[in-house]
């Protein structure tokens, strides 16, 4: 029985799960959810996920939300020996550490990039400083690595953090001070054959979707 993934392609957490699915070569039924018209608030969706968020996974009646939990579940159930989520306790702990860090980073990106869009006010100096500090720390971690965040193979850590790059790109955030971060992104973009399929959203598409979502919030 195919896995169902309720998704919206403009969501970074969705794209992280989507790249995991492509990396594991899983058979998944993709079910789009239009957030701008409130499809996530329909009773049938709330019955699956009362938090009304995407991504939401349904695997033979088992419903799961939160992107990192979904990614870990897919590896544990369908590819327990995959290096994407290493079995070695220390390596897995490093992947988990990165997943926890990227949750912090996502919150900072939302505070700097998205909150001002909907409030009409510029981000506070404190939120900008917090985001820059996180990007600086990430850049320093990547100095010590070659191609990947953890060890010498692609892991969930890479896919989850990579999914947020589009937020910085589409908002024209200046990342010139973080060359190692830029190198890491460029390397993964070139390596992953599904990168464009998952992340190929034009600036025009992005701007139009943000306008649709802002209009729905205004209502």
Q: Which H helix or E strand runs over 217?
A: helix 203-218
Distances (CA, A) of 141 to 147, 151, 173: 12, 12, 20
- Please give the Cα distance from 50 to 46 (Å, whole number): 5
Q: Which of 11, 67, 134, 160 is catalytic?
A: 11
Contact call for residues 106 and 164 (beta carbons, < 8 A): yes
Distances (CA, A) of 120 to 19, 60, 114, 132: 33, 43, 10, 21
Contact call for residues 30 and 7 (beta carbons, < 8 A): yes
The two tokens of residue 101 are 């860090």
Contact partners, residue 144, CB within 8 Å, separation at least 6? none
Q: Is 11 part of the annotated catalytic residue set? A: yes
DSSP letter, residue 58:
E
Within 10 angstroms of residue 118's Cβ, the number of other Cβ atoms is 12
* Residues assigned a catalytic role: 11
């Amino acid at each position: 029985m195919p896995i169902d993934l309720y998704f919206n392609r403009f969501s970074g957490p969705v794209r992280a799960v989507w790249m995991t699915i492509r990396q594991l070569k899983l058979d998944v039924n993709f079910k789009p959810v239009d957030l701008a018209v409130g499809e996530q608030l329909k009773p049938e969706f709330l019955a699956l996920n009362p938090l009304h968020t995407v991504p939401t996974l349904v695997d033979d009646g088992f419903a799961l939300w939160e992107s990192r939990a979904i990614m870990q579940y897919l590896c544990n159930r369908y590819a327990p020996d995959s290096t994407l989520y290493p079995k070695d306790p220390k390596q897995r702990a490093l992947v988990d550490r990165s997943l926890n860090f990227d949750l912090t980073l996502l919150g900072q990106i939302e505070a700097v990039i998205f909150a001002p869009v909907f409030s009409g006010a510029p981000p506070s100096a404190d939120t900008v400083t917090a985001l820059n500090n996180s990007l600086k720390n990430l850049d320093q971690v990547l100095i010590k690595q070659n191609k990947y965040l953890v060890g010498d193979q692609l892991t969930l850590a890479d896919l989850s953090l990579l999914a947020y790059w589009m937020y910085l790109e589409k908002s024209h955030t200046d990342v010139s001070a973080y060359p190692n971060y830029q190198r890491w992104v460029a390397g993964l973009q070139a390596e992953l054959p599904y990168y464009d399929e998952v992340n190929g959203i034009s600036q025009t598409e992005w701007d139009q979707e943000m306008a649709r979502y802002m209009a729905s919030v205004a209502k």
